[in-house]
A and B are shown apart, each in its own frame.
Chain A
Amino acid sequence: MLFFSYFKDLVGQEVTVELKNDLAIRGTLHSVDQYLNIKLENTRVVDQDKYPHMLSVRNCFIRGSVVRYVQLPPDGVDVDLLHDAARREARGG
């Protein structure tokens, strides 16, 4: 549940979600759920030439299981905090 908590704090920030099919979508993180399904607002496709059909959609829902990466704003990440929390979770603490 670590990253569920983590993404909760990122709601409202700009993120880029890269899917396992290589599509990358940028948008404002609207909400996230326990399965890490992601809802984005004001989305636009990062590589528009590759995926012209999507272009800009107002809001989209991305299934958690198809996400490869979520690219975060650099100042939106406290790496040390995340390190420690992840280490604790790995220990089951």
Chain B
Amino acid sequence: MVAGLGEFTLRTGDGFGKPVLDESNGEELMHVQPSVAVVLGNRPVESPGTLYITSRKLIWLSDVDMAKGYAVDFLSISLHAVSRDPEAYSSPCIYTQIEVVEDEDDESDTESTEVLDLSKIREMRLVPSDSSQLDTLFDVFCEGAELNPEPVEEEEGESGHNWVFNADQMDVIGGVEEDAEWSISQSPTSVIGHSNGDEGLAQPMLELQINDQRFEDAEEMVHDSETKNH
């Protein structure tokens, strides 16, 4: 796994020149978009090419230069957006920002056209010749990003990905506890001493509240004195 943008030259030898994926590790091809130009940073646009979106990364392969290709892991893509503003770029495109590992010794111009260090590229635009495909591409990018969260030790909610579009949507895995907590917090004005059903904890905590004001947050003391009279 490469951090940031890198070269990608592994193509299948069957003449079609598709990218070789890491299928043994579950990498799958999600979408192919032909006729896409790529713009790395401030460099001149490169085309024609084909964009391959896999479950792990973005791959752009030149249609004319079989040795030219770029790839970036979704893990390194900080944000992506549909850019239709002609002031930002002449053609509608997908704008992406790539997370770059800062090198303390690096003083050179990161956008220099002399020596191309792909790992220092921070912005990449993908310009499909068919701009009606932009929204589809944006959605596939979202899917790819969602499939690649930061690797964590343990995850609570594994069963599917749940986007919430409005506050009414509360049917999320792992969200059940959260709902209960929000509704509880509406009633008691001071939550210190109130535990979620573990009565064994309640008594000693209540005593703490009454007898040990030094355990309160400084600002809480003001609020508590106001709300205790409720």
Contacts and interface: CB of A to CB of B under 8 A. Distances in A.
B78 A66 contact: yes
Interface residues of A, number: 46
Contacts of A85: 181-182, 185
A91 B122 CA distance: 40
A1 B174 contact: yes
A interface, over-half SS: mixed
A56 B163 contact: no
A39 to B, nearest CB: 7
Contact of A37 (B84, B145, B192): B145
24 contacts: A1-B175, A5-B179, A5-B182, A11-B166, A11-B167, A19-B79, A21-B122, A33-B163, A34-B174, A35-B146, A53-B95, A55-B83, A55-B87, A57-B83, A57-B95, A59-B81, A59-B82, A60-B81, A63-B77, A64-B150, A65-B150, A66-B79, A85-B185, A88-B196
Interface of B: 77-85, 87-89, 95, 97, 99, 122-123, 138, 141-142, 145-146, 149-150, 156-157, 161-167, 169-170, 172, 174-175, 177-179, 181-182, 185, 191-192, 195-196, 198, 217, 220, 223
